[in-house]
Amino acid sequence: MGYSITRRNALLLGGGAMGASLLMPGLSFPTARAATPGTVTYALSAYPPNLRPFEYSGAASRTAKLMMFRGLLSFSESGTIQSELAESWELPDPRTYIFKLRANATFQNGAPVTADDVKASFDFIRAEKSTAYLRQAFQSVDTIEVIDPKTVRIVLKQPTPAFLNLLAGQNAPIVHAQQMDNPDAMIGAGPFTLESSEKGVSLVFKARKDFYKPGLPKTETIRLVVYADDSLRVAALNAGDVDIIEYVPWQSMASLAQTPGIEVQSSLGLYMYVVFNMKQGPFTDPRVRRAVAHAVKREDIVQAAFLGNGKVLDGVPLPETSPFRVEELDHLWPYDPDRAKALLKEAGAENLQATLLSTSTYGFHKDIAEIMQQHLAAVGMNIKLSLPEWGVRISQGNEGRYHLAINGGAPELGDPDDLTALFGSGSNSYRRSFGLSDPALDDLLNRGRHESDQEKRVQIYTDLQKAVAETVPVTFLNYRLQAYAMRETVKDFKALPDFLLNQSGMAFETVHIG
Amino acid sequence: MLTYIVRRCAVAAVMIFMVATAVFMILHVVPGDPIEVMLSADGMAPDPATVAEMRARLGLDLPLYQQYWDYLTRLGSGDLGRSFQDNQDVLGNIAQRLPRTLELIGMATLLSLAAGIPLGVVAARRRGSWIDKASGWISSLALSVPTFVLGTLFVLVFALMLRLVPAGGFVPFSQSPADHLTLLLMPSLAIAVGFTAVIIRMTRSTVLDVLEQDWVRTARAKGVDEGKVLRRHVVRNALGPVLTVTGLQMGSMLGGTVLVEFIFNWPGMSGFLVKAVENRDYPEVQGIVLVTASLFILLNLIVDVLYSVLDPQVRKS
């Protein structure tokens, strides 16, 4: 008579085996693999679509491009503007900027960085048929004049205080003027050169010996390896396969922060907000938009969609240290369902029906839509969700095929002029409310952009916030935390603060394994 | 015979043309603009003038019939076009990715056959014994656990707890054969577990069928050694259906390794296709679908021709 296995025995055996395999090794975790001296391995969340210096192609590209390209200016660790290829600069009048270039700055091919290169780069950006991300913004440039090989003068059509911020961002790099025909092969003056790449897998950068900052970069090799899956990215860090990861998933932030030997650096720069269809439907009435702004309990969104890794934003997004912040305007739309109901009644919009557009591609966009649906139902709105994938969502947003929609945003300049992209009228874009055209807001934004007197500028943007409180061209929901995590062997990686977090690739010139 | 092969080749060519046309049309009907997607990464809003200029550069402003004609003309000369995203040659990218997926499928198939056939034979031979019951339980469990759960569990146990292998990734064979094979092992195993269960069940049932056949009884009656009966008369005859199932499974895996490639960061064809669709990179999507479909059609063509060689009736019909 042979031994026979009953169902019960088999389940017990199987369960026991699985439990043992999970728990026993846990009793004595082997240590993570050792870091490779001289090489920093960084886990990217996506492979860069391209490395064209003037086109915008996402956060992963930013990190890779910052290895190879540098502009006249950059942002420091504290978020202030600092010199980069330009050794110094002066403003003889509010429209004119004179930049003096570093004597030792060279491109990756060894050629010196000259004023001609600056002129060629900026002319490329502002050209009529340019596809540069800053083409529109650079239309404010009147003339670019080469004074001598190391000095360049830029004259703007009108005073624009945020112009320096534009140059400090990474979308205005200087490239070698002799090789500008192929955007995929432009030569920059960054601290590394691209040694090899394998599409979808990795990019390897080697340090330059003739970088213009003495002693930098500190590491010989940077490997950017793609780990698209959030959990695998975290697992790779824990296992020691990589040294730094970006886009730490919210569910792992707390556990990683408590893991010995791992450091997390995070910032609250990015935010979520709601746009409205202002051409047709119930949200053409500002009272109804205001009702939405008061009906949403933002704390629920922070807790449920971001697991507490965020902060309520019921005013206008301005950095903590911004001189344009006014304390009494920090909370323009506090949670107040009774007020929301009263506003709806006043507008004759009780029991309104509307479509809320979000996307199924990003879980947090979908979660916010579902939470908002409940909040809006509580004040009598019947909201239908539309959750297409990202590409369709962009098209529907650009064409105004929604009543209200969820968006994510990131200021780029660290200047309130960033708000023009949200409150200003212009061509239809999924990023701002469809059909938005408010002459009063446009006037304030335009005056704010070109006012060189700081006190007057503060007043203009204060007036803007007050106007926005009433007209609600968009309503903001929350800041969301974004983080890098790294092993303790990683030295001198300092993520940039607030809205600049995505430009933290600048830190690779100092980072090294210690 | 030659006429038959020519006729089958002509049918295959028509099918490839139909696939090329269908994928082109579907892509252009599906909502979502490739330029808007490309320039809207991370919620940025592209300048409409930039979108228009980019569209013109990529020929997307041309009438649809013109784009279709250009596409067919390029295809005729064996050119699959260049990626919208990075201007790289699509055929070159496919040539880089396809072997990785084939390698994954090949390794998973090898592991499945190596484990599944012996287990299936033993289970059938000892029908009703504890080995038979255990293999039934194991294959039920293996079939009921989704590949992505298994994959995640493998990462947790083998990479994070035991630290035996990296959590995922890819190293070219030419760079480090040992690292390459180490990284290939976990994703192959994740695919192989479910596949092995299918092989066990198929082998067991076909072996049981064959064991009932007259020629097996005759062989035994003639006094042939039991081991020889099993090897020469039973297993050999039982393998036909197993190989058919193996072929079908391998075919379905060509497009079905998405989750495994994602979990283990294995840069094969599936992940490439998903990303291309997400980005609305028309040349890449068209190229990948066309190459995959052509592979299927080619395999079918070879099978058809082989059938006709083996069976004159097929040829005549």
Q: In which residue are the tokens 């335009």 written? A: A446
pLDDT of residue A96: 98
The residue among B275 and A218 whose pLDDT is bigger is A218
Count of residues in chain B? 317
Distance CA B67, CA B57 (A): 13
Compute the nearest-CA separation of A199 from chain B (Å). Answer: 8
Residues of B in contact with A357 (CB under 8 A): none
pLDDT of residue A426: 83
Do A129 and B272 count as a contact with CB atoms less than 8 A apart?
no
Residues of B in contact with A361 (CB under 8 A): 278
Q: Please, are residues B39 and B51 in contact by the beta-carbon 8 Å criterion?
A: yes
Which tokens sit at A159?
Answer: 């005073």
Chain B nearest-CA residue for A432: B45
Query: Measured between CB atoms, which of B32, B87, B130 is closest to A394?
Result: B32
Distance CA A99, CA A105 (A): 14
Neighbour tally for A253: CB within 10 Å? 21
Q: What is the mean pLDDT of residues A212-231?
A: 94
What count of Cα atoms within 13 Å lies in the side-chain half-sphere of residue A412? Answer: 23
What is the average pLDDT score of chain A? 91
Which tokens sit at A125?
Answer: 């950006």
Residues 6+ apart with CB under 8 A from B245: B198, B199, B202
Above 90 in pLDDT, residue A242? yes
Q: What are phi and psi of A388, to 5 degrees?
A: -75, 175
Distance CA A339, CA B249 (A): 61
Distance CA B42, CA A410 (A): 8
Distance CA A436, CA A370 (A): 25
CATH tag for A270-480 (out of 3.10.105.10, 3.40.50.720, 3.40.50.12780, 3.40.50.10860): 3.10.105.10
Chain B nearest-CA residue for A127: B50
pLDDT of residue B315: 62
DSSP 3-state of A447: helix
pLDDT of residue B61: 92
Distance CA A131, CA B49 (A): 8
Q: Please, are residues A294 and A310 in contact by the beta-carbon 8 Å criterion?
A: no
Distance CA A58, CA A77 (A): 21
Mark residue A110 as left, alpha or beta (left: phi above 0; alpha: psi -120 to 50; beta: remaining): left
Sign of CA dihedral A444, A449, A452, A454: positive
DSSP 3-state of A30: coil
| Bridge partner residues of A42 (DSSP) | A224, A244
ipTM of the assembly? 0.78
Residues of B in contact with A236 (CB under 8 A): 166-169
Distance CA B214, CA B31 (A): 61
Query: Measured between CB atoms, which of B155, B157, B263 is closest to A21?
Result: B157
Lowest mean pLDDT among A124-128, A207-211, B274-278, B299-303: B299-303
Above 70 in pLDDT, residue A33? no
Above 70 in pLDDT, residue A493? yes
DSSP 3-state of A115: helix
Distances A266 to A249, A262, A491, A494, B119 between C-alpha atoms, Å? 11, 13, 16, 10, 52
Do A32 and B53 count as a contact with CB atoms less than 8 A apart?
no
Tens digit of pLDDT for each residue in A331-347? 999 999 999 999 999 99
Q: Are strands A490-491 and A512-513 parallel, antiparallel or unpaired?
A: antiparallel
CA A460 to chain centre: 26
Residues of B in contact with A241 (CB under 8 A): 166-167, 169
Residue type, A269: G
Distances A106 to A176, A185, A190, A208, A499 between C-alpha atoms, Å? 9, 17, 9, 10, 29
Q: Which DSSP string corresponds to A373-428?
A: HHHHHHTT-EEEEE---HHHHHHHHHTT--SEEEEEE--SSSSGGGGHHHHS--S-
Sheet holding A86-93, edge to edge: A86-93, A96-101, A151-156, A141-148
How many angstroms separate the first and last alpha carbons of chain B? 12
Chain A nearest-CA residue for B92: A199
Which tokens sit at A12?
Answer: 């017990």
| Bridge partner residues of A81 (DSSP) | A75
Query: Measured between CB atoms, which of A10, A26, A225 is closest to B137?
Result: A10
Lowest mean pLDDT among A20-34, A68-82, B28-42: A20-34
User: The domain at A32-68+193-261+488-513 falls in which architecture?
Assistant: 3-Layer(aba) Sandwich (3.40)
- What's the per-residue H, E or C state across B197-231? HHHHHHHHHHHHHHHCCHHHHHHHHCCCCHHHHHH
Chain A nearest-CA residue for B85: A49
Distance CA B48, CA A444 (A): 23
Q: In which residue are the tokens 């092993």 written? A: A487
The residue among A175 and A34 whose pLDDT is bigger is A175
- Say whether the peptide bond before residue B99 is cis (omega within 30 degrees of 0): no
Distance CA B229, CA B217 (A): 9
Which tokens sit at A89?
Answer: 């600069």
The residue among A194 and A2 whose pLDDT is bigger is A194
Do B169 and A30 count as a contact with CB atoms less than 8 A apart?
no
Q: Please, are residues A416 and A324 in contact by the beta-carbon 8 Å criterion?
A: yes
Residues of B in contact with A21 (CB under 8 A): 157
Residues 6+ apart with CB under 8 A from A62: A170, A502, A503, A505
pLDDT of residue B256: 73
pLDDT of residue A473: 97
Compute the nearest-CA separation of B62 from chain A (Å). Answer: 18
Distances A440 to A210, A291, A387, A436, A471 between C-alpha atoms, Å? 52, 22, 34, 12, 10
pLDDT of residue B312: 65
Q: Please, are residues A96 and A155 in contact by the beta-carbon 8 Å criterion?
A: yes
Chain A nearest-CA residue for B137: A10
Compute the nearest-CA separation of A11 from chain B (Å). Answer: 9
Q: In which residue are the tokens 């290939």 written? A: B184
Q: Please, are residues A170 and A125 in contact by the beta-carbon 8 Å criterion?
A: no
pLDDT of residue A320: 81
User: Of A235, A240, A247, A203, which Cα lies nearest the Cα of A222?
Assistant: A203
Distance CA A125, CA A169 (A): 14
Compute the nearest-CA separation of A187 from chain B (Å). Answer: 17
Q: In which residue are the tokens 């990715």 written? A: B97
What count of Cα atoms within 13 Å lies in the side-chain half-sphere of residue B34? Answer: 25
Hey, where are the domains in chain A?
32-68+193-261+488-513, 73-185, 270-480
Query: Measured between CB atoms, which of B48, B137, B152 is closest to A427?
Result: B48
Scored b (16 or more CB within 10 A) or e, B125-140 reads beeeeebbbbbbbbbe
pLDDT of residue A103: 97
Above 80 in pLDDT, residue A114? yes
Tens digit of pLDDT for each residue in B165-192? 888 889 889 989 999 999 999 999 999 9
**Banded model confidence at residue B311, pLDDT cuts 50, 70, 90:** low
Distance CA B261, CA B265 (A): 5
pLDDT of residue A30: 53
Q: What is the mean pLDDT of residues B234-238?
A: 85
Residues of B in contact with A2 (CB under 8 A): 129-130
Q: Which CATH superfamily is domain A73-185 in?
A: Dipeptide-binding Protein; Domain 1 (3.90.76.10)
pLDDT of residue A8: 42
